[in-house]
Structure 1
């Protein structure tokens, strides 16, 4: 079995030129060894196609008194060429701790901050506008960057109220990009409707090699509407790791420069032409290095993507 730890050196060696497969052809390849980047369609701002999320293990460590590992993982993200850091007030101490660490490391302006707002009540309750404003202002203070790169309405919480506030902030120049997120299947129809009628810069969704529902309508709609896509849970949280336990990465994965399961999963996700960036969470620097290897080298074409799906489904 090839583990993430065992393949760390191989991850660093991945350096072939990257391609972005489209149904009509291939985008230009970046020079050998450079990170694959994608543009947010509405502004043209380019970001590395793999970033860092702060839920799950990152959030767990953020609650502890020893955040040295998080300091290391943030520095490693930037050292490896990454910029996108996805967080939310709802991720416990993640946003506050990340803001403090970034300030210590001098990374506040370097990072592309993607945070969220949601003060709506449970079961679709309405959001108090003043509470939402205060949550947003707290994020500004924590992350210490103006304009903030991206704020999204978390889990479609009272979109009319909270997205309305974000539109105002974008108009004022305090926020560069705005959007909405959900990782709940019950919200998918509503997400589609919002994408069709609202001037969004981005959406945040769940998408993975074993979770491809978004390919049917949401991802094509994002391309048609010029909306950037942040992908959460590209490893299915822990689901994919359980599935591949005891199995080696197939030899043919080297054809698109994937030398670990993490890189195979990430390359599948970012090879979809609608995807802007995948943001798996981690609190370990060696995993951050491994993940960033997923944004270097070749990407699978459509035929290879089908082969990847068949292989994973057969495990």
Structure 2
């Protein structure tokens, strides 16, 4: 039996080796049990960690690195992940990822989530025909049909765009629909819409140092049977800056945490309202490390409070 400190030292050594040669990790195809959650109201299970396509992923796609995009999507599927979240507004991410997923034969292995948000016209409303055209483009880019999830991005003219998604869902072209926002001033409106509209999912920002969703949005999602995708579980770069140069606390090993990324993600996905967190990355070895947060022991409520207090004290 190794001590927690020895465990962490071994984890750090492994991380160094992977930084030198990330193929060491990618070559490990041994199966591991991943925590999954059911989409509310269904028996469909999703792994609690997936992949987002903003930030560095979007930049990689914009550089035309189709091989790099294919490699990270294949790493997601190989390591038991399913949820891939994208948007037309993420540069070339949606288009390049869709093509790469088709070429890799991943259409039936991925839970494909994208978004709809056509800019409002001068009078404040989105052009319905432009919204339909954007949706058609997104459906054509996806590697399979029907598309698993399309959400109105950042609550963009919901009265115009949500009915378009509902229409496509009724026609069997989309399986689930929803709304997203990571803008604090929109939280009250999101709450109202969760009460008034028939939603399958919401997508929101949530992190160990950003717990506003726990107050009203998460309880309402549980009450209404709405799935939750979490964006920005690392606070974009905020949390990385906070822990720069610091070692994990010894007690992190109690939850099978071997990296700061896993620390941040295990806090997020251990909340029972969260269906899946989708951190963005363009590096397969970072993706595999992130997927490690979906396995092993999870913090209970006391552990979650300990994690939040530790980060708050830094």
Fold shared, TM-score > 0.5 on shorter chain: yes
CA contact (8 A) 1:4 1:290 kept: no
> 1:3 and 1:214 mapped to 2: Cα distance?
36
Shift in CA distance, 270/133, structure 1 to aligned 2, threshold 3 Å? same
- Matching residue of 1:6: 16
CA contact (8 A) 1:7 1:259 kept: no
- Matching residue of 2:6: none
- How far did 1:70 drift? 1.7
Aligned pairs for 1:284-295 (under 5 A) are: 284-295=283-294
Shift in CA distance, 3/217, structure 1 to aligned 2, threshold 3 Å? farther
- Matching residue of 1:236: 235
CA contact (8 A) 1:150 1:177 kept: yes
- How far did 1:33 drift? 3.5
SS at match of 2:114: strand
How many equivalent pairs are there? 295
CA RMSD, Structure 1 to Structure 2 (Å): 2.0
Structure 1: which 5+ runs fail to align?
13-31
Shift in CA distance, 186/235, structure 1 to aligned 2, threshold 3 Å? same
- Matching residue of 1:24: none
- How far did 1:122 drift? 7.7
Shift in CA distance, 55/124, structure 1 to aligned 2, threshold 3 Å? farther
> 1:212 and 1:309 mapped to 2: Cα distance?
9
Whose relative contact order is higher, 1 or 2, with alpha carbons under 8 Å and at least 6 apart? 1
- Matching residue of 1:281: 280
- How far did 1:145 drift? 1.7
- Matching residue of 1:221: 220
TM-score by length of 1: 0.89
Shift in CA distance, 68/217, structure 1 to aligned 2, threshold 3 Å? same
> 1:271 and 1:146 mapped to 2: Cα distance?
31
- How far did 1:146 drift? 1.5
Q: Structure 1 residue 210 and structure 2 residue 209: aligned?
A: yes
- How far did 1:171 drift? 1.1
Structure 2: which 5+ runs fail to align?
1-8, 20-24, 26-30
- Matching residue of 1:64: 63
Could you report, residue by residue, the CA deviation over 1:103-161 in whole angstroms, capped at 9, with x for unpaired residues?
11111221100000000328993111111111111111111321110000000001011
> 2:90 and 2:14 mapped to 1: Cα distance?
25
TM-score by length of 2: 0.90
